Chains A and B, each alone.
Chain A
Amino acid sequence: MSEAPSLPNRQAILVDRAFTVLAWLLGATGIALPGVIIGFLAVRGLGVIDWAFLTSPPGGFPLGQAGGIGPALQGSLALVGIGLVVALPLAVGGALFLTEYNRFPALARIVRFATECLAAIPSIVYGLFGYAILVVFMSLKISLLAGGITLGLVMFPLILIGAQEALEAVSWQDREAALSLGVTRAYVVRRVVLRQAAPGILAITTLAAGHAFGSAAPVLFTASVIFSRGGLGLETPVMTLPTHLYFLVGEALSFEHAYGTALVLVGVLLIVNVLVVCLKGALRR
């Protein structure tokens, strides 16, 4: 420090107190914000939600004013499921290669940079890409498959980065100890590394899945349809929860149902967060 230190004077103490107060206010805002948002939605939306709402298709005339969100919930789950089937093996495999088998540090850095860029790309760009290549060029039409693959593309960079971090967290001593016992690399990977990294990998996968579940932009033009009654299949379009909310608001059909739909979306997110906390807890054991 350039100036001679001095005991704090009156002004400095006041500024410090102000800082403390401000910091607490900001912290309180941080804690209150999600509560306010969720509470607001809950107050208006909780009344709509019941088992029928969660399982039945939209009803009323025009459609959406009555009935429920059953097909949308199904569709969203199916889309995320397919996305995971696409993204998870590729991401974990790629992460494994980078941590276990890679000999060129430059490669790891290039891949990391590229993956971070991919993770930051707007989701509508994935939707645009999915529409052009999957829906039109590959003639998958607007379908569960096209939307699922697009969501897989969205999730892939997130899981790759997270899996890499989880794998790198496994101490090299454990690896060396296993190898010194004479087992193959693959055995080490399977029994030692993956086992330790599994909670971390699952945590990031759950987070990515939750993010994909709530994103409308990638599926808006690749998989979603305004109305369906079920009949899930790989070549058929699906209703999805986020696009259903978007349509409800756009068509102004039923704000009550919109609140209910928003609340279900938030509910799923909360479940995802709880799961991740449990998984991270398992990590510490």
Chain B
Amino acid sequence: MRLLPGILSERLTWLFCLVSLLAGGATLILVAVFILREAAPTLFADGGLMALLFTDPWVPLAEPPLLGIGHAWISTLMITAISLGVAVPFGYGIGLFISDVAPTAVRSALQPCLDVLAGIPSVVYGFFGYVTLVPWFENHFAMATGESILAAGLILAVMVLPFIASTSAEAFRAIPGDLREAALAQGVTRWHAVRRVVVAQAAPGMFAAAALGLARAIGETLAVLMLAGNSVALPHSVLDRGQPLTALIATELGEAGVGSPKYHTLFAAAFVLIFVVVCINALVWAWKGRLIYRV
């Protein structure tokens, strides 16, 4: 059953696929160029970059408006550090559990649980943290208000955990069983074999897992918007409020008139985010040859 003569359908299919790829590629380039262009006035103004990142505070209602995002990237840093500090050890542990300790039945119960955890929307996590962690902090830590860097970091840790666990489990499982058995045949304990053989060989994969978690943590918006406190002061401790870069963009976007200095600053903040994510990805790719164990 032919709809079109062979050669014609052949060409059309090829053309369609090429056009799709080009469309996708063009969009990517458009996104990158557009964001860079709109961020340019802020990024390339003289002294602009220093003021943006380090010296200016965020006081948009001042005359002239001061639009420094120092408080924002420091908040991002702190929240990310907390979330990774909790999620990475947990994630590796679960990864090792999946690859070396769990019986098959438990493994097939755990994987869907991780998938569910990964799929819960960000706003639901924010809501969950808002009704559990925030009141808990207020009651038990005598905090003036429970929204804080710590609350956001902890919920973010739960959000990032399944990704780290799954990716590191994959890396651990890629180590062939022969290596493990060779070690065990020598008479060492399972932990010794895991530590000296599996983990040692899977180190690049573990790095990839952590990098994935890092990229996710940096990019989270709604959950941290609802939990970090949305305050423009520079946070000094984890119990302070903060406003990560993503929350800054979400809060101020509605108010920024197209073309205004604040508009360009928001694009600069977006550019910072993209830049960091691309760098993380590039680092992972640079090690890619060694990521998953190959014989």
A–B proximity contact (CB within 8 A):
yes
Binding site for B on A (CB under 8 A): 1, 5-8, 12-13, 15-16, 18-20, 22-24, 26-27, 29-31, 33-35, 37-38, 40-41, 89-94, 96-98, 100-101, 111, 113-118, 120-125, 127-129, 131-133, 136, 153, 156, 160, 184-187, 189-190, 207, 210-211, 213-217, 220-221, 242-243, 245-246, 249, 255, 258, 262, 265-266, 269-270, 272-273, 276-277
Complex Cα gap A245–B30 (Å): 32
**Size bracket of the B interface:** 35 or more
Is the Cβ of A117 less than 8 Å from the Cβ of B250?
no
Q: A5-B186, A22-B93 are in contact. List 15 more A-B contacts (CB 8 A).
A: A26-B97, A27-B97, A30-B110, A41-B124, A90-B20, A101-B17, A115-B24, A120-B280, A122-B246, A122-B270, A125-B249, A127-B250, A128-B267, A132-B38, A262-B128
- Please give me the residue from chain B that is nearest to A149 by CB atom: B27
Contacts of A124 in B (CB 8 A): 219, 221, 246, 249-250, 270
Known: A127-B253, A160-B24, A186-B10. A122 touches B119 (CB 8 A): no
Q: Given B117, B121, B126, B127, which contacts A33 in the complex, CB threshold below 8 Å?
A: B117
Report A250 CB to chain B, min CB distance, Å: 8
Indicate whether B64 reaches chain A with its CB closer than 8 angstroms.
no
Report B139 CB to chain A, min CB distance, Å: 17
Known: A26-B94, A94-B21, A214-B124. A184 touches B191 (CB 8 A): no
Complex Cα gap A35–B14 (Å): 47
Indicate whether B287 reaches chain A with its CB closer than 8 angstroms.
no
Known: A8-B192, A124-B246. A27 touches B94 (CB 8 A): yes
Is the Cβ of B21 less than 8 Å from the Cβ of A258?
no
Complex Cα gap A125–B218 (Å): 12
Contacts of A125 in B (CB 8 A): 35, 219, 249, 270, 273-274
Q: Given A94, A97, A129, A216, which contacts B34 in the complex, CB threshold below 8 Å?
A: A129
- Please give me the residue from chain A that is nearest to B281 by CB atom: A117
Complex Cα gap A40–B124 (Å): 12
Report B113 CB to chain A, min CB distance, Å: 5
Complex Cα gap A211–B132 (Å): 24
Is the Cβ of A34 less than 8 Å from the Cβ of B191?
no
The DSSP consensus for interface residues of chain A is helix
The residues in B between 20 and 60 inclusive whose CB is less than 8 angstroms from any CB of A are 20-21, 23-25, 27-28, 30-31, 34-35, 38
Is the Cβ of A120 less than 8 Å from the Cβ of B277?
yes
**Residue among A37, A40, A121 having the largest count of chain B Cβ atoms under 10 Å:** A121
Is the Cβ of A220 less than 8 Å from the Cβ of B250?
yes
Known: A184-B7, A249-B127, A262-B127. A117 touches B258 (CB 8 A): no
Is the Cβ of A111 less than 8 Å from the Cβ of B21?
yes
Is the Cβ of B35 less than 8 Å from the Cβ of A184?
no
Contacts of A94 in B (CB 8 A): 17, 20-21, 23-24
Known: A96-B17, A122-B246, A184-B7. A270 touches B116 (CB 8 A): yes
Indicate whether B62 reaches chain A with its CB closer than 8 angstroms.
no
Indicate whether B165 reaches chain A with its CB closer than 8 angstroms.
yes
Contacts of A114 in B (CB 8 A): 25, 28
Indicate whether B144 reaches chain A with its CB closer than 8 angstroms.
no
Contacts of A217 in B (CB 8 A): 122, 221-222, 246, 250
Known: A19-B191, A26-B94, A216-B122. A97 touches B35 (CB 8 A): no
